[in-house]
Amino acid sequence: MVEIREADLNDLPEITELFRNTILHINSKYFTENQLAVWASGANNEKKWTARITKNYFIVAEENNTIIGFAYLTQGNYLDGIYVHKDHKRQGIGAKLLRVIESQVMMAGFKEIKSDVYKTALPFFDDYYYEVEKKQLKHLKGEVFESYIIYRTL
């Protein structure tokens, strides 16, 4: 049974490990080794993750006391991240996290949710009626990433 709950700082090691492993295992088809290393290195910034957990609406999906996914909002209606463990893909975990996030956005009075995603996530969001607003290039530690601003009217 999967439980969705708000994250706390005790979850930090599991969250950052899940972040790193998801990037390295799920995204290798679309990104170079250097891009993956740069992106995954974001897991090492404990200060940034601590702020994400404490200052934002941050939820985790947990099964048998193990975190198997997480998602978080910034600015009230910006889905800043949604990640599911590689061994739990296509089991409805991402959908559950997304439903809870969208409910939170609606309860906060927003009419739209936005996110910035990479090519890997586009099919998932397309299944939930998200539209691409624009394609863009992001620069991070000397690497260039193609990403998409997506949105959905709630």
DSSP assignments along 57-94, one per residue:
EEEEEEETTEEEEEEEEETTTEEEEEEE-GGGTTSSHH
Work out the percent of the chain whose per-residue pLDDT is above 90: 92
| Residue 136 pLDDT level (bands cut at 50, 70, 90) | very high
Query: pTM to 2 decimals?
Result: 0.94
Q: Please give the C-alpha separations between residue 72 and each of 77, 81, 83, 91, in angstroms, as whole numbers.
A: 10, 6, 10, 20
Give all domains of the chain, ordered by start, each with its CATH number. Answer: 3-110 (3.40.630.30)
Per-residue pLDDT tens digits for 47-101: 999 999 999 999 999 999 999 999 999 999 999 999 999 999 999 999 999 999 9
